[in-house]
Amino acid sequence: MVLSILQGFVVLEGLDGAGTTTQMRLLCERLDREGRAHAGTFEPTEGPVGRLIRSILARRVMALPLTVAMLFAADRHQHLAGPDGVIERANRGELVVSDRYLFSSLAYQSIECGFKRVLDLNEGFPLPELLVFLDTPVAVSQARLDRRTHRELYDGAGFQARVREGYLQAIEHFEGSGMRVLVLDGNRPADEIHEAVWTETARLPIHKV
């Protein structure tokens, strides 16, 4: 397996309600305090394709599962290669932290489209240097989602249990790729999780351009 790793790129992943957005905020605040050039970003993006995806997630627009998988890949391409995108920023020496990336597609879209099909759609995209998977139990993630007012396409507990399996399969698939993977118990307090994420992130070499 020959896959390129994008130096200075860190990805946070987890089920809906796993806490990736909180960890992303804590990590970016820490990088700020440490005076380290960085950029926080997320998928689906705020670009035109990302907005269309959010309409589909909110069930305002209908699309076939494979169409959705293709849209996520298209949004990702723009996110990576577009102006001021992940690749440009990482190559500029910024530490780019993304809330979700192709592992989300492998975990969520594979359920309806198959792992191989989703992998093919995402072929050629670089892997991050570090992947953090917040392994929050389905019941805990669901309880957090219950406090939200809106429900989305993938919210159900049965579906989320399969998403977790998809994440584990994706992690296994990339074993030996050189990407560092940190699996954390998402049930721990947010500040403890942050410390673990920070320890691993601080170990990443600072890449000179």
**Between 15 and 95, CB nearer to ligand TYD:** 15
Q: Would you state the structure tokens that stand for residue 21, as one six-digit string? A: 């957005």
Q: Could you say which residues in the range 109-148 bind ligand TYD, by CB under 6 A?
A: 109
Q: Could you say which residues in the range 30-89 bind ligand TYD, by CB under 6 A?
A: 43-44, 57, 72
110-115, long-range: CB < 8 A, 24+ apart: 110/166, 110/169, 111/159, 111/162, 111/163, 111/166, 112/65, 112/66, 113/65, 113/66, 113/69, 115/166, 115/169, 115/170, 115/173
Amino acid identity of residue 187, one-letter, is: N
Using DSSP's 3-state secondary structure scheme, residue 12 falls into: strand
**Between 109 and 201, CB nearer to ligand TYD:** 109
Amino acid identity of residue 181, one-letter, is: V
* CB 205, min distance to ligand TYD, A: 27
Q: Would you state the structure tokens that stand for residue 186, as one six-digit string? A: 């998402």
**Between 43 and 94, CB nearer to ligand TYD:** 43
| Number of chain positions touching ligand TYD (CB under 6 A) | 14
Binding ligand TYD (rule: CB under 6 A), the pick from 23, 41, 105, 201 is: 105
Q: Which residue has the tokens 């403890």?
A: 192
* Burial class for 4, CB neighbours closer than 10 Å (0-12, 13-18, 19+): exposed
**Between 57 and 93, CB nearer to ligand TYD:** 57
Binding ligand TYD (rule: CB under 6 A), the pick from 9, 26, 39, 104 is: 104
Q: Is 16 in the site for ligand TYD (CB under 6 A)?
A: yes
**In terms of Cα–Cα distance, which of 6, 184, 14 is closest to 80?**
6
**Between 33 and 147, CB nearer to ligand TYD:** 147
* CB 35, min distance to ligand TYD, A: 28
Residue whose Cβ sits closest to ligand TYD: 108
Write out the residues near ligand TYD by the rule CB under 6 A: 16, 21, 43-44, 57, 72, 99-100, 104-105, 108-109, 152, 154
